[in-house]
Structure formats: structure tokens, C-alpha cells
């Protein structure tokens, strides 16, 4: 194997010699090179790619335009008992922007280094999972398998910008109803240890802007009742609340999914050094576990604002209220199929609440069970970060995991209602 530093796959990495790379890895790297990156994702490129895949798999692909320019693609493998509820393998096609100057390699070149680490935006979130689903299906089909339940692979746009023109709209579309879903798999997170994390619920994102009006005036004077002092009181109140985060370090039982977090993410206000501003706004990204009483929590926010000033108000840019969990009881047939397959593969599972938000929340809101799972153990959590990468061995192992999980889920016997 000769190192080829400036091969067609992007400079800087050591490439496999011709014909030595697993074709599944090659396909993954090809998909990473598509620039489905916000703010203007090349969704047409993704659709062309998926159409080609459907042709290779000899499976039909349906396109549902949920909003102008926003298409959900669905590849379907019909089961031998199509009246039974189906299994959905969901993934989003978009990725978040990059700070290119902070990357070791071009984030859209899919460079593989000498350790087999494949660098690229989306390598963990979640282009790996898309290709792992596809490759598992390809192998199962090639082995002549067929299962009782229908399997749908759904490829959804705009997850990274809140899903309004993606899954949120799709779940209300008649084509979604037609999928006759029994159970869905969607994305999870990497785990740096040997274990795999699985997510059975999600925290609710609340994005809030607090508006602090105040008296203006010359920057040289003692101005009372300023916007800035209200903003500081608001921040102090929120900061007190932030103390809960320290519980993460003191109690091993807590994970990020179990505690409310808050970050101040934007501040706006001011026009000149010597003009006291008439308004200052501060925005927060709050993530609230499904166990928290949301009405009581909003009362706290109201009280913080009131303390900061009678005229201080807040608006929501996102306010999710879904507190559904997916069952992880051994008596649940879907969870049993999932967990017993993992056990048979000697995989250790850690059950958690997802700390951010994924398209699963829209599926769970429809009353359907969904598990968040990206088979990446021994991998640092690098989604949305600089130098996001996935090792090719971990990626390949993930395909084997789905080669076992998909048959188990698609063979779950009819449920009590005959579904």
C-alpha cells in the first residue's frame, strides 16, 4: 500500500492503494463530499446520489416535496406481510456549517488519515448512519433475505435548522401516514468508551430572547433604569440556575440528558460608546429534560424577567413541549428486538435522554416509538465540532450492527392488535 498524499480523494491524507478500500467506506467518503451544508445545502446532489443508490439496490424511491425545494426521499423494501406495521430507518441529509480555518483537512474532501480516521462534516452527524443503513440493506438483499415487515429508509432535509421544512411538516403529510410505521430508528451520539449510547427520549429545546428596554442618555451621565442593568440581573438569575450543571460532576448518576442546561448565545444592543442604549436583548438556548414540569419552569422564567424590570419581556423562537418516552421495557417487543440483538453481539448499551434535539421528537409526538442510535463506540463526540471524524473500522462495524438489527426489527412478530 503506497501513500498517495495528493490523490483524487483530497490532499494531506494517506490513501489506500487502488482496490484495497472497502467499497462501503468509499461510498461513505463520496457522500461526505456532497455539500449539503447550511445555509444553502445542495439537496439536489443528495437526491441524485440517493436515486443512484435506489437503482443499485433495485428498490423504489419515492420523493415527497414537503415544502418548496425540500424533498423527503423514501426507499422502500416491502416485506412479505406488508399489512404489518413497518420499520423506519431515518436519517437527515443536511449538515451544519464549518469554520474551515480550524480544520486539519478540507471538511468536504473526506480525507482518510494513516489511522483510518475519515474527516468530514457529517462523518458523525449523520452521513455515517445513512450509508450504514444502505450498506446493511445492500448486504441483506444480496444474501437473498426477506423479512415480514416492510422497511422504509427515509432521508429528510433541514433537521439541523429545526426540521420545520423537513420532518415537522412530513409527519403531517398523508405520505407519512401511508408508511404505516411501527418503530423508527434515528440518530444518536458517539460514545468514547467501549459502550454504545441509545436514546429513548429527548430534552425540549427552548430558545428565548429576553428584551430589556431602558432609559437612554449620554454615556457620561448617571443614567438610571438602563437596559444594561436589567440585562445583568437577568444574566445573574440565569447563572444561578446554571449551578445545576455542577451536579453533573458531583453525581455519577446524572448525564447531560438529565439536567436542564442554559447557554447565553446572543446579545444585541448599543449603537455607540457614548450613547446609553434604549434596548438590549439577550438570547438563551435552554434544554429541559422531559421530567421537568414545563409550566412551572416557564413561571421561573417569568419571575426572572420581572425581577430584572417590570418592562422586561421574553419571546420564544423554539418552544418544544414533547415529553414522550419510547419504552425500554424488556416486555416491549421493539425494544426487546433491539436490545437482545445488541446483547447477542456483546455490545454494552447505555440508555440516555438525548441532550439536544433530533427529528425523533416529531416521530414520538405522533405517538410512535423511536430510538436514537448511531453505532459509534470508542469515538469522541465531535458532532458540530471542528475536525469531525469517524474511524473506518468503527464505521464498518456499524454496518454489521445494522445487518443484525434490521432483520430483528423487521421480523418482530405481529403485536397484540395483529399489527
Ligand X SMILES: CSCC[C@H](NC=O)C(=O)O
Cβ(188)–Cβ(402) below 8 Å: no
- Of 356, 378, 381, 396, which lies in the binding site for ligand X, with binding defined by CB under 6 A? 356
| DSSP-based three-state secondary structure for 372 | strand
Q: Which of 7, 12, 162, 217 binds ligand X (CB under 6 A)?
A: 162
160: contact with ligand X by CB under 6 A: yes
Give the C-alpha distances (Å, rounded to integers) separating 19 from 52, 113, 115, 128, 309.
Answer: 21, 17, 18, 21, 68
How many Cα atoms occupy the beta-carbon half-sphere of 105 within 13 Å? 25
336 marked among binding-site residues:
no
Beta bridge partners of 288: 204
**Residue placing its CB nearer to ligand X in the complex, 163 or 407:** 163
Choose between 180 and 318: whose C-beta lies nearer to ligand X: 318
* Shortest CB 209 distance to ligand X, Å: 14
The CA distance from 258 to 289, in Å, is: 6
Phi-psi region of 116 (alpha: psi -120 to 50; beta: other; left: phi over 0): left
**Smallest distance from the beta carbon of 320 to ligand X, in angstroms?**
7
Q: Which of 16, 135, 158, 159 is catalytic?
A: 159
Please confirm, yes or no, whether 322 is among the known catalytic residues: no
Residues 6 or more apart from 250 whose CB is under 8 A from it?
none
The one of Zn ion, ligand X, none whose footprint includes residue 352, by CB under 5 to 8 A per kind, is none
**Could you say which residues in the range 68-127 bind ligand X, by CB under 6 A?**
none
Which residue from 131, 106, 104, 99 is spatially nearest to 25, judged by alpha carbons? Answer: 131
Distance CA 248, CA 255 (A): 6
User: CB-wise, 276 or 357, nearer to Zn ion?
Assistant: 357
Q: Reply yes or no on whether 30 is catalytic.
A: no
- Residue whose cell numbers read 483530497: 10
92 is in an annotated binding site: yes
* Position among 256, 357, 399, 412 found at the interface with ligand X (CB under 6 A): 357
User: Would you please indicate which residues are annotated as catalytic (active-site) residues?
Assistant: 94, 159
Residues that bind ligand X in the complex, under the rule CB under 6 A: 160, 162, 205, 318, 356-357
Binding-site residues for Zn(2+) sit at: 92, 125, 160, 187, 384
Binding-site residues sit at: 92, 125, 160, 187, 384
Amino acid at each position: 500500500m503506497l501513500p498517495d498524499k495528493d490523490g483524487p480523494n483530497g490532499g494531506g491524507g494517506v490513501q489506500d492503494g487502488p482496490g484495497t478500500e472497502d467499497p462501503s467506506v468509499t461510498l461513505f467518503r463520496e457522500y461526505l463530499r456532497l455539500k449539503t451544508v447550511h445555509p444553502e445545502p445542495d439537496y439536489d446532489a443528495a437526491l441524485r446520489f440517493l436515486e443512484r443508490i435506489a437503482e443499485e439496490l433495485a428498490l423504489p424511491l419515492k420523493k415527497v416535496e414537503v415544502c418548496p425545494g425540500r424533498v423527503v426521499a423514501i426507499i422502500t423494501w416491502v416485506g412479505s406481510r406488508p399489512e404489518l406495521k413497518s420499520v423506519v430507518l431515518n436519517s437527515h441529509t443536511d449538515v451544519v456549517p464549518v469554520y474551515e480555518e480550524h480544520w486539519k483537512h478540507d471538511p468536504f474532501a473526506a480525507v482518510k488519515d494513516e489511522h483510518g480516521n475519515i474527516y468530514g462534516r457529517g462523518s458523525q452527524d449523520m452521513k455515517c448512519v445513512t450509508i450504514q443503513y444502505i450498506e446493511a440493506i445492500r448486504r441483506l438483499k444480496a444474501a437473498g433475505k426477506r423479512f415480514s415487515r416492510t422497511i422504509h429508509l427515509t432521508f429528510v432535509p433541514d433537521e439541523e435548522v429545526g426540521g420545520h421544512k423537513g420532518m415537522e411538516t412530513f409527519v403531517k403529510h398523508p405520505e407519512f401516514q401511508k408508511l404505516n410505521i411501527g418503530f423508527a430508528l434515528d440518530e444518536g451520539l458517539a460514545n468514547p468508551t467501549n459502550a454504545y449510547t441509545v436514546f429513548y427520549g429527548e430534552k425540549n429545546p427552548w430558545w428565548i430572547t429576553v428584551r430589556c428596554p431602558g432609559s437612554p442618555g449620554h454615556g457620561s451621565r448617571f443614567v438610571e433604569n438602563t437596559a444594561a442593568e436589567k440585562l445583568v440581573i437577568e444574566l445573574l438569575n440565569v447563572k444561578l440556575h446554571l449551578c445545576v450543571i455542577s451536579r453533573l460532576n458531583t453525581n455519577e448518576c446524572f448525564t447531560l440528558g438529565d439536567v436542564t442546561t442554559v447557554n447565553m448565545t446572543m446579545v444585541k444592543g448599543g449603537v455607540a460608546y457614548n450613547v446609553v442604549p434604549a434596548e438590549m436583548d439577550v438570547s438563551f438556548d435552554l434544554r429541559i429534560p422531559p421530567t421537568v414540569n414545563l409550566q412551572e419552569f416557564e413561571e421561573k422564567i417569568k419571575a426572572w424577567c420581572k425581577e430584572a424590570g417590570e418592562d422586561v419581556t421574553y419571546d420564544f423562537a423554539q418552544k418544544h413541549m414533547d415529553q414522550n418516552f419510547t419504552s425500554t421495557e424488556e416486555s416491549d417487543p421493539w425494544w426487546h428486538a433491539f436490545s437482545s440483538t445488541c446483547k447477542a453481539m456483546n455490545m454494552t448499551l447505555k440508555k440516555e435522554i438525548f441532550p439536544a434535539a433530533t427529528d425523533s421528537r416529531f416521530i414520538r409526538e405522533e405517538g410512535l416509538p423511536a430510538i436514537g442510535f448511531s453505532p459509534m463506540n470508542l469515538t469522541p463526540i465531535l458532532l458540530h465540532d471542528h475536525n469531525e471524524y469517524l474511524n473506518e473500522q468503527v464505521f464498518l462495524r456499524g454496518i454489521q450492527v445494522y445487518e443484525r438489527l434490521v432483520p430483528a426489527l423487521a421480523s418482530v412478530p405481529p403485536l397484540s392488535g395483529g399489527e
